Structure 1
Amino acid sequence: MTKTTMSGPMHLGLPNAEPVPMEGCGGCAALAERRRAARRGGDLSTVSDLNVRMRAHQGSGCA
């Protein structure tokens, strides 16, 4: 017999906290300023994209 019911609910964790710019890093400062401008303009998709870019930037050894 074929199962006709859906599987159980998916459990998601809390979203990651926004990355904090590293003190003295010009790249972090520029990304943070672009993120602030995007948030002021209501462009939350760009805010999310810039969070990803800042994490990648910090992972590559900024400052």
Structure 2
Amino acid sequence: MRTTRDRAVKPITYAQPPVELPLRTDSEPVPAAGCGVCAALAAQRREARLEGDGSVVSDCNVELRNHPHPGEST
């Protein structure tokens, strides 16, 4: 049995409803002009899309969104 700070908590032993995550509807990130890292990620994303690997496409999008460039505000 797990516990919280003050009381014991019974483990869940029955089915729970599925967790529903929102569908991301914003556009894909655009690679920054002249950035080799962004160009490589865009190429990898393109190949993954052709192969039907949505997980890698999503990973590349995250990396492109988070990749810093000089002069950008965070």
TM-score, reference length from structure 1:
0.68
Large movers: runs of 4+ above 6 Å: none
Higher strand share: 2
The alignment's C-alpha RMSD in Å is 1.9
Mark the structure with the bigger radius of gyration. Answer: 2
Equivalent position of 2:69 in the other structure: 61
Q: 2:12 aligned with 1:15, yes or no?
A: no
Higher helix share: 1
Higher RCO, 1 vs 2 (CA within 8 Å, ≥6 residues apart): 1
| Gapped regions of structure 2 (runs ≥ 5) | 1-19
Matches within 5 A, 1:19-34: 19-34=29-44
Number of positions where the alignment pairs a residue of Structure 1 with one of Structure 2:
50
Percent of matched pairs sharing the same residue:
52
